[in-house]
Structure 1
């Protein structure tokens, strides 16, 4: 099953008040854009350097979430744009 079909199937099953956070760690931008094309706008990433790079390269209406432990010295890199 393709990424787009998976996203569509999941969205069809979950209640409207539930938001799907697609975890994008280790996935290339092409995969993220595939999910984006079917309406996915919330993504989670677990590495600061990958999150910053993806934020810079992908559409700006994506809502980014940081997943996992965050070192204090790295907060400044993601604070301006991360949602959670």
Structure 2
């Protein structure tokens, strides 16, 4: 099975108190995700990110874009992403 892809949707503009306007990750979080090797850790990170987006607001565009990325990479997205889309 392929690994859960990065939550980054290739916007990468850090304007909201250091959070990317595309995915809500900070630069430190982007680096941290790259270091995660175990699938369960990558999935937990995406779940945490969905909660963070919910708290910050204005990230409705992320879930549909991330679903497309998962489809392109032939990875089944976690349920929380499907629910958010």
Q: Which has the higher helix share?
A: 2
Q: Which has the higher strand share?
A: 1
Q: Which structure would you say has the larger Rg?
A: 1
Q: What range describes the TM-score normalised by the shorter chain of this pair?
A: 0.3 to 0.5
User: Higher relative CO (CA 8 A, sep ≥ 6), structure 1 or 2?
Assistant: 2
TM-score between the two structures when normalised by the length of structure 1: 0.33
TM-score between the two structures when normalised by the length of structure 2: 0.33
